[in-house]
């Protein structure tokens, strides 16, 4: 029998001085494709990085590759998070930057990025086009990195990996931010490279998986435990009985008007490229909307207008909270009334703030905390920290926490001021199934008090029950607006 591809004996691993993996053993043999699922913070990412030898190389992880194979003999890791720098090697970006015309030319184009990747790994350029097409990425070749949305960044990472076809491909939360169609196509592409000889380790809590996955495991108490497909069903969901903090059950004040958002023929374009076309949309106080559309359909641009983050708001007929934009209001007066979470906000958030600071900063809509919040704000923050089970991380820096915990902290930040308008753009990215359920329950709870909601989510399972209306964007245009009577079906 040939040597196992990965052989791990008694691996012990700490994450910021806390043990996460303890005497973990794992053997991956030829032709095996693994799914690793389980709760957030259980050590999945640490394990994946260790196998790919990122940052450190462990003597108790042996990898052996097939010398006969034409595929690159390496373990390639696709991170759960994308990273890029500007042309001068800096990554000091802010999330609104992609909407500012003059700031987008300082990062490389997708094309240049792919060319340098291809060169580095001696890849054939004619092979990348098919992958690009399958993930709906071809049109973005001339975009610069900063113009991409988080879902598009994810795709770029995947395009590189699928083009490379390493002998061992490790994908950490690959479906995050992808729309339904892209998820399907990703699975087909993964099946294809598996056929061609790549082996997969997939870290995900998704249920729609490539058919080649033939082993499933979770990490429990620092050890790898193999489970059967049936055991993946979520029967271990704890009942969650913590009381919603009282300040959140107070009715929100819709101070000014019944009309929260009103857009009349709103158009946004960058040079020749029109990203929003003649958008007409009205949202009334207390309504719960879901905003649907494929990656690149214009969703994040639409939301950036509402949040005061888009400079072209000033050139459009567009009313927020009853006032026309550009009639003397400041963006801080707008932001004060909105609780926002989005993948971009998370990505650009100040990583050197503590959990506590990050949550309080929600009162000021700043990325990081710049002033003393005073007693009542502190007290509300502490209540929320407790509610989200983050007590022990209160003073931990954001960048020292796994993704799921960072996300919980930012969700707490989103609601800490009990805002009249909640904008939840893929709020549950990086959360496990249980955390998602709990968060959705909380959203339902909040919405009983008159909060207006705009929800974006590609995963049907993650959409809260209170949604009653849907707007569908396609290529920057409103495709349909409808009233829903049951849970929405995704296209």
Partner 1 sequence: MSNYFNTLPLREKLNQLGVCDFMDSSEFLDGVNALKGKKLVIVGCGAQGLNQGLNLRDSGLNVAYTLRKEAIEGKRDSWKNATENNFTVGTYEELIPTADVVINLTPDKQHTAVVNAVMPLMKQGATLLYSHGFNIVEEGMQIRKDITVIMVAPKCPGSEVRAEYVRGFGVPTLIAVHPENDPEGKGLAQAKAYCVGTGGHRAGVLKSSFVAEVKSDLMGEQTILCGLLQTGSILSFDKMVEKGIDAGYASKLVQYGVEVITEALKHGGVSGMMDRLSNVAKVKAFEISEELKDIMRPLFQKHQDDIMSGEFSRTMMEDWAAGDKNLLAWRAATGETAFEKTPAGDVKIGEQEYFDNYTLMVAFVRAGVELAFETMVQAGIKPESAYYESLHETPLIANTIARKKLFEMNRVISDTAEYGCYLFDYACKPLLADFMTKVDTDLVGKNFNEGKDGSVDNRTLIAINEVLRSHEVEVVGARLRKAMTAMKSIKTA
Residues forming contacts to partner 1 in the complex (CB under 8 A) are: 86, 88-90, 92, 94, 96-97, 100-103, 106, 270-271, 308-309, 311-312, 314-315, 326, 328-333, 350, 352, 361, 364-371
Residue (73 or 315) nearer to partner 1, CB: 315
Separation of alpha carbons 241 and 238, rounded Å: 9
Residue (207 or 352) nearer to partner 1, CB: 352
Residue (55 or 89) nearer to partner 1, CB: 89
Q: Is 453 helix (H, G, I), strand (E, B) or coil?
A: strand
Decide: 156 and 110 in contact? Cβ < 8 Å.
Answer: yes
**How far from the centroid of its chain's Cα atoms is residue 71's Cα?**
30
Residue (19 or 374) nearer to partner 1, CB: 374
Shortest spacing between CB 170 and partner 1, in angstroms: 25
Strand 469-474 to strand 452-456: parallel, antiparallel, or no bridges (unpaired)?
unpaired
Residue with tokens 């592409």: 189
Residue (29 or 366) nearer to partner 1, CB: 366
Shortest spacing between CB 62 and partner 1, in angstroms: 26
Residues listed for the chain: 491
Shortest spacing between CB 353 and partner 1, in angstroms: 9
Our separate counts of H helices and E strands in the chain read: 12, 19
Residue (326 or 465) nearer to partner 1, CB: 326
Shortest spacing between CB 338 and partner 1, in angstroms: 13
Residue (307 or 442) nearer to partner 1, CB: 307
Separation of alpha carbons 62 and 51, rounded Å: 9
Tell which residue, 479, 488, 420, has the closest CA to residue 281.
479
Tokens of 417: 């001021």
Shortest spacing between CB 326 and partner 1, in angstroms: 8
Residue with tokens 């819709």: 254
Decide: 432 and 38 in contact? Cβ < 8 Å.
Answer: yes
Burial group, residue 368, by CB count within 10 angstroms (0-12, 13-18, 19+): middle
Residue (400 or 432) nearer to partner 1, CB: 400
Shortest spacing between CB 302 and partner 1, in angstroms: 17
Residue (65 or 364) nearer to partner 1, CB: 364
Residue (308 or 427) nearer to partner 1, CB: 308
Shortest spacing between CB 102 and partner 1, in angstroms: 5
Decide: 358 and 444 in contact? Cβ < 8 Å.
Answer: no
Tokens of 259: 């009309």
Separation of alpha carbons 386 and 391, rounded Å: 6
Decide: 367 and 335 in contact? Cβ < 8 Å.
Answer: no
Shortest spacing between CB 314 and partner 1, in angstroms: 5
Any idea what DSSP says for residue 489? P
Shortest spacing between CB 166 and partner 1, in angstroms: 24
Shortest spacing between CB 310 and partner 1, in angstroms: 10
Tokens of 135: 């993930």
Burial group, residue 232, by CB count within 10 angstroms (0-12, 13-18, 19+): middle
Give buried/exposed letters for 175-211 (b at 16+ CB in 10 A, else e).
bbbbbbbbbebbbebbbbbbeeebbbbbbbbbeebbe
- Beta-sheet strand order (sheet of 75-78): 75-78, 168-172, 199-203, 34-37, 215-220, 223-227
């Amino acid at each position: 029998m040939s040597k196992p591809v990965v052989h791990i004996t008694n691996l012990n691993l700490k994450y910021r001085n806390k043990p996460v993996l303890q005497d973990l053993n794992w053997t991956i043999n030829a032709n095996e494709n693994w799914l690793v699922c389980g709760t957030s913070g259980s050590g999945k990412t640490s394990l994946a990085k260790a196998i790919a030898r990122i940052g450190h190389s462990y003597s108790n992880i042996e990898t052996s590759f097939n010398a006969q194979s034409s595929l690159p003999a390496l373990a390639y890791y696709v991170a759960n998070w994308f990273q890029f720098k500007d042309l001068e090697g800096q990554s000091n970006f802010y999330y609104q930057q992609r909407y500012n015309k003059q700031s987008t030319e300082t990062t490389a184009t997708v094309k240049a990025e792919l060319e340098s990747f291809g060169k580095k790994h001696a890849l054939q350029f004619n092979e990348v086009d098919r992958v690009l097409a399958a993930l709906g990425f071809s049109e973005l070749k001339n975009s610069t990195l900063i113009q991409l949305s988080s879902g598009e960044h994810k795709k770029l990472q995947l395009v590189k990996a699928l083009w490379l076809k390493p002998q061992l491909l490790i994908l950490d939360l690959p479906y995050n931010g992808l729309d339904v169609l892209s998820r399907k196509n990703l699975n087909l592409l993964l099946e294809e490279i598996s056929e061609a000889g790549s082996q997969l380790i997939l870290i995900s809590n998704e249920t729609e998986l490539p058919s080649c996955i033939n082993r499933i495991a979770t990490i429990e108490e620092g050890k790898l435990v193999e489970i059967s497909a049936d055991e993946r069903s979520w029967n271990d969901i704890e009942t969650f009985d913590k009381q919603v903090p009282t300040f959140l059950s107070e009715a929100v004040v819709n101070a000014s008007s019944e009309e929260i958002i009103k857009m009349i023929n709103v158009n946004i374009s960058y040079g020749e490229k029109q990203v929003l076309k003649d958008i007409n949309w009205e949202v009334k106080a207390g309504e719960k909307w879901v905003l649907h559309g494929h990656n690149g359909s214009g969703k994040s641009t639409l939301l950036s207008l509402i949040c005061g983050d888009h400079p072209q708001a000033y050139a459009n007929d567009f009313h927020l909270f009853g006032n026309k934009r550009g009639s003397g209001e400041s963006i801080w007066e707008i932001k004060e009334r909105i609780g926002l979470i989005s993948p971009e906000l998370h990505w650009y958030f100040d990583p050197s703030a503590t959990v506590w600071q990050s949550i309080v900063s929600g009162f000021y809509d700043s990325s990081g905390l710049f002033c003393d919040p005073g007693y009542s704000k502190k007290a509300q923050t502490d209540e929320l920290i407790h509610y989200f089970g983050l007590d022990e991380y209160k003073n931990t820096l954001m960048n020292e926490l796994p993704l799921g915990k960072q996300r919980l902290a930012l969700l707490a930040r989103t609601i800490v001021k009990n805002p009249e308008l909640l904008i939840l753009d893929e709020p549950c990215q990086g959360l496990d199934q249980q955390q998602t359920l709990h968060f959705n329950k909380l959203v339902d709870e909040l919405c009983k008090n008159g909060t207006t909601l705009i929800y974006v989510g590609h995963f049907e399972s993650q959409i809260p029950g209170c949604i009653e209306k849907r707007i569908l964007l396609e290529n920057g245009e409103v495709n349909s607006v409808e009233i829903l009577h049951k849970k929405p079906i995704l296209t």
